[in-house]
Structure 1
Amino acid sequence: MASSDLERGKEKAGRTNGDYRVDTSDNEWTSWLIPSFVVANVIVFIVVMYVNDCPKNNLGFEGGCVAKALGRFSFEPLRENPLFGPSSSALKKLGALDWDKIVHQHQGWRLVSCIWLHAGVIHLIVNMLSLVFIGIRLEQQFGFARVGILYLLSGFGGSILSSLFIQNNISVGASGALFGLLGAMLSELITNWTIYSNKAAALFTLTVIIVINLAVGILPYVDNFAHIGGFLTGLLLGFVLLLRPQFGWVESQYLPAGASVHSKYKVYQYVMWVVSLVLLIVG
């Protein structure tokens, strides 16, 4: 893999000083789960717009429907939803995070369903572009199982924190799950620090994406509590799920019997793994 790759720089071959394996191009998985998540989110948004049916259900108090040529898929008036999307009632009907319904009507399923809903086209595009940019690389490096667990549990963690602090408004979006992937990227960068040839570029990329998504958090139906909850969940999960073995340990598999064998992981990796697992369980 080229050294300009922000995620995984390829350094000099034949390093045997006990550091991590740096060339993982031969072990990449084919990414299919993240594209499937993108398709699923788009389909759900289309269904929401179909159910919303602005021409039929909007009474015109906030103005007329936007893009009326789309028929029942037209958007709510911009005064109600500036993101070019459905009404809050449609989002609530189809599973938006609503504290009152979760607590008093025992609709805990909303902690998961809200992850697949988006407030509008702008919200959807920003999240899906970020998901493709981040998620495909992670899935190629670590496989669909670990990335799927990261995505779903981070989204759930974001919903939990959001439901604790947002009690008067609804919340939707995959941002919690997306921030979980960002958190996992950060923890993976920390725990596997020596395999990165361009650490500054990796940190800069993470920072830009985080800032963009936090900015989106000030828009209607999107909240930064879900972002923070998802990020913290993903950060801890990254220390647990995204460990890489030392280069020396990988090389030892090809050495003759009796040769000295390096430990698979370094001490600090084990420490982070244990601490993060405990925090996840307690949290």
Structure 2
Amino acid sequence: MSNAGGRDPERSGGPDSKPNGYGHPNSRVAYYYAQASSEEQWTSWLVPLFVVANVSVFVIAMYVNDCPKKNSGVYGSCVARFLGRLSFQPLRENPLFGPSSSTLEKLGGLEWYKVVHRNQGWRLISCVWLHAGVIHLLANMLSLVFIGIRLEQQFGFVRVGLIYLLSGLGGSVLSSLFIRSSISVGASGALFGLLGAMLSELLTNWTIYTNKAAALFTLIVIIAINLAVGILPHVDNFAHIGGFLTGFLLGFILLVRPQFGYVSRNYRPANAHVKSKHTAYQYGLWVVAMLLLIAVFAVGLVMLFKGENGNEHCKWCHYLSCVPTSRWKCDN
């Protein structure tokens, strides 16, 4: 989606560009520019690996859950009993076709008390790999494939992997600061981090895109709709917001492209004009984003492990995760 606005092929030096005819005095410079500017495509393997890892963890969770043996029967019988110990909890207990909350807690679900008072900080990361059910897993993995593969092809596995993992951590930290009464699991925070990175990538590389306004509007609408869904009950929107903000800042740091007109030294003629790889605007955003990211993580982690309750510092923030109506109440 970072290419939603499309590139101008004549500016980006893509396959459809036509440098100044080969008989033109500047044709040699244009040829080097076309070579240097063509976008490298990476082979995506990390995102598919993440998908396999998430599916594998879910299968392990269902195996550990062992509904036929451990189900109390209070909520009814197990669903899809033909799956044996992989069968799902009763739908009255878990409508997403998944394990019990006790199984998710046992395997690393995010729980504030255990993170802060039992020194189990590893739950801030382990919860990202757990899912509440098949529906939850499918929704997140489809999003990861559609968003993540494109980003990995454009920027490589290192940068996309860092954004995914750090955004997941950022989402877990914010969630723990505001939600204390329930267990949180899922890769949604990491996925929102990828969306946030796509937005900042568009902003920091603004000059190389055409149809900028359309691309920006489309991306903002998609983000807004997904965040709006988070105000429904039983959805951890704090993880979404924390992941999004982390990815947004990381995008300014990790997804910076060379400015228009920059030519790598490998393709630059000896007498060619030397142009800075990045603009002052990009450098400025990089510095500000880096300082903000360090500050936000430092403050968030200190507050969390000191046992601070975010709701006491922000009386209205609970509405960001759930808005009570006549049809439902908010438990968090």
The higher-RCO structure (CA 8 Å, 6+ apart) is: 1
Where in structure 2 are the equivalents of 1:1-283 lying within 5 Å? 6=4, 8-12=6-10, 13=17, 14=19, 26-199=39-212, 200-201=214-215, 203-205=217-219, 207-208=221-222, 211-212=225-226, 215=229, 218=232, 220=234, 222-250=235-263, 254-283=267-296
**Aligned-residue offset at 1:207:** 3.0
Alpha-carbon distance between aligned partners in 2 of 1:118 and 1:219, rounded to the nearest angstrom: 17
Alpha-carbon distance between aligned partners in 2 of 1:249 and 1:24, rounded to the nearest angstrom: 8
Q: Is the 8 A contact 1:21 1:246 kept in 2?
A: no
Q: Is the 8 A contact 2:66 2:87 kept in 1?
A: yes
Alpha-carbon distance between aligned partners in 2 of 1:96 and 1:63, rounded to the nearest angstrom: 24
CA-to-aligned-CA distance 1:135-175 (integer Å, 9 cap, x gap) = 00110000000011111111011111111011010000001
Q: CA RMSD in A?
A: 2.6
Q: Is the 8 A contact 1:44 1:116 kept in 2?
A: yes
The answer for unaligned runs of 5 or more in structure 2 is 11-16, 21-28, 297-332
**Aligned-residue offset at 1:192:** 0.8
Q: How high is the sequence identity, in percent, across the aligned residues?
A: 65
Q: 1:116 to 1:100 in 2, by over 3 A?
A: same
Q: 1:118 to 1:245 in 2, by over 3 A?
A: same
Paired amino acid for 2:87:
S
Moved segments of 4+, more than 4 Å: 20-26
| Partner-residue secondary structure (3-state), 1:114 | helix
**Aligned-residue offset at 1:218:** 3.4
**Aligned-residue offset at 1:258:** 3.7
Number of paired residues? Answer: 276
**Aligned-residue offset at 1:197:** 3.1
Alpha-carbon distance between aligned partners in 2 of 1:75 and 1:214, rounded to the nearest angstrom: 29
Please identify the structure whose Cα radius of gyration is greater.
Answer: 2
Q: Is the 8 A contact 1:130 1:209 kept in 2?
A: no
Q: Is the 8 A contact 1:10 1:22 kept in 2?
A: no
CA-to-aligned-CA distance 1:14-61 (integer Å, 9 cap, x gap) = 499xxx999966511000000000000000000001111111111111
Alpha-carbon distance between aligned partners in 1 of 2:265 and 2:37, rounded to the nearest angstrom: 17
Alpha-carbon distance between aligned partners in 2 of 1:85 and 1:182, rounded to the nearest angstrom: 27
| Partner-residue secondary structure (3-state), 2:72 | coil
Alpha-carbon distance between aligned partners in 2 of 1:205 and 1:99, rounded to the nearest angstrom: 32
TM-score (norm 1): 0.89
**Aligned-residue offset at 1:91:** 0.1
